[in-house]
Chains A and B, each alone.
Chain A
Amino acid sequence: MASAKPPDIESDLVLVITKTFDAPRERVFDAWLDPDSIALWIGTRDIRAETLELTPHVGGRYRIHMRRTDGSSGPIVSGTYREIARPERLIFTWTWESGHPVAAGQDTLVTVTFAERSGRTEMTLKHEVFSSKDVRDRHKEGWTVSFEKMAERLAQA
């Protein structure tokens, strides 16, 4: 087993990736929510994705089959849109339904922000695990759950 490398624990909690594209924000944003567009680029190069379902509004679901170029099936990822603020921000949950060697069944949250940089678009993706209570509470689901509980209590009263 490799030796532990814990010194960067703070920043290692969440994955953050930034990339600048030579295109306006709307185009970069739309590439995420158009079923045909996203299938053309999402995944590593050994994947030819197929969008099975994509309902681009808050609460709407997506399901994407990460088919492999060698013909083998590959896993399916699915989730729900939490926030769609075109062209600034997009938030959705991300869960591999099955067959994923690293992260099957684990609920994660993806936040993508789009910043205008003199006609170009700086896109930042944040990907984090949110099934742990501490992390989840920082997000809307914490509030949603609280409101649901409150509603239940009010209904019982």
Chain B
Amino acid sequence: MTAATLLDLSFSALADPTRRAILRRLAQGETTVAELAKPFPISAPAISRHLRVLEAASLIRQEREGQFRRCRLDPAGLQTAAMWLDFYRGFWSESFDRLGEYLKTTQPVLTKRKARSHGKRKAAGH
């Protein structure tokens, strides 16, 4: 699976409030599927569907243990999403620092104000 595919899957999985609640619960520690389903007012098959989506996005892992299924967080999916955010946070922060410098160095404000006070902006050229 490519990083982009995994990322799409994890963002799509995270877009649902029930699935986010499941992840928050699992963040406190692994548990059985039955235990996990208790606080949610939805059917067992519905919970299973949510768990399958989370598993496909590498956000959780499920393991069969006798007659129980156990669930725990899988760092892979969350790490991919965190990597994405870190990358763009750095990209845009540095871009904005440079934009601030750019806005300081160029001084077209006066020209624009003058142009506006004369009504229409002139076409380019002298």
Listed in ascending order, the chain A residues whose CB lies under 8 Å from chain B are 1-7, 9-10, 12-13, 15, 17, 19, 21-24, 26-28, 31, 37, 40-45, 101-106, 123, 125, 127-129, 131-135
Closest to A31 in B: B99
B75–A19 touching, CB < 8 Å: no
Kindly state the separation between the CA atoms of A10 and B16 in the bound complex, as whole angstroms: 10
Q: Which of A2, A128, A132 contacts B75 (CB 8 A)?
A: A2
Q: Which of A12, A28, A101, A102 contacts B103 (CB 8 A)?
A: A28
Mark B69-87 against chain A: 1 for CB-CB distance below 8 A, else 0. Answer: 0000111101101111101
Can you give 13 A-B contacts (C-beta < 8 A)? Answer: A5-B78, A9-B14, A17-B92, A19-B100, A23-B109, A44-B91, A106-B8, A127-B92, A129-B8, A132-B8, A132-B15, A133-B12, A135-B12
B11–A13 touching, CB < 8 Å: yes
A45–B94 touching, CB < 8 Å: yes
Kindly state the separation between the CA atoms of A23 and B11 in the bound complex, as whole angstroms: 35
A134: which B residues are within 8 A, CB to CB?
12, 15-16
Chain B's interface: helix, strand, loop or mixed, by majority?
helix
Q: Which of B12, B90, B96 contacts A123 (CB 8 A)?
A: B96
B7 located at the interface, meaning its Cβ lies under 8 Å from any Cβ of chain A in the complex: yes
A41–B87 touching, CB < 8 Å: no
Closest to A26 in B: B112
B92–A15 touching, CB < 8 Å: yes
In the complex, how many angstroms separate the beta carbon of B114 from the nearest chain A beta carbon?
Answer: 14
Closest to A130 in B: B11
A22: which B residues are within 8 A, CB to CB?
100, 103-104
